[in-house]
Amino acid sequence: MSGTSYVRFQGLTRSQRGHFPGVFALANGLARKGKLTDEQFRFWRAGNDWYDANYPNPTDVDPSVYDHSLNPGAVAWFKASAVHLIERVDGYLEILAAHEVACERVESTAPGRIVYEDEVQVVVVPWERESAPAGD
């Protein structure tokens, strides 16, 4: 395969469930704990509202997509073609950096077994949770 097909922004520390939390989960955690400044909170709230209005929530389509027993470690990845969604992540990354929460951009052509897909994203069970396909 040539080129990157999927993009994910995730923390560097595994969660209690064993996966690396995504950028939105990390920012949501800071907001829930009341750690955001007023300006950060306004950005976070407006950003989350924008994402909610502009792309599907996988659990609205399939409530079991993140079920840990069915899809252990399932995580969402942007399709690389969803530039309009990816470019808006920078503000979240700035908030995380301001709170010294490490986050990285990961790219893959085969991030795992796809359990949900729409025009802009996939939810996958990472290959580390299952045996990787031959050749990967």
Between CA 61 and CA 72 the distance in angstroms is: 18
Find tokens 């395969």 and name the residue.
1
At 98, is the secondary structure helix, strand, or coil?
A: helix
Q: Could you tell me if 76 and 58 are in contact, meaning their C-beta atoms sit under 8 angstroms apart?
A: yes
Rounded to the nearest 5 degrees, what angle is found at the Cα of 44, between the Cα atoms of 39 and 48?
Answer: 155
What pLDDT digit, counting tens, does each position of 48-89 carry?
999 999 889 999 999 999 999 999 999 999 999 999 999 999
User: What's the whole-number mean pLDDT along residues 113-128?
Assistant: 94
Under the banding of pLDDT at 50, 70 and 90, the label for residue 135 is: very low
DSSP 21: P
What pLDDT digit, counting tens, does each position of 13-44 carry?
998 878 899 999 999 999 999 999 999 999 99
Q: What are the start-end ranges of the E strands in 51-126?
A: 75-79, 103-108, 112-117, 121-126
Rounded to the nearest 5 degrees, what angle is found at the Cα of 31, between the Cα atoms of 25 and 36?
Answer: 125
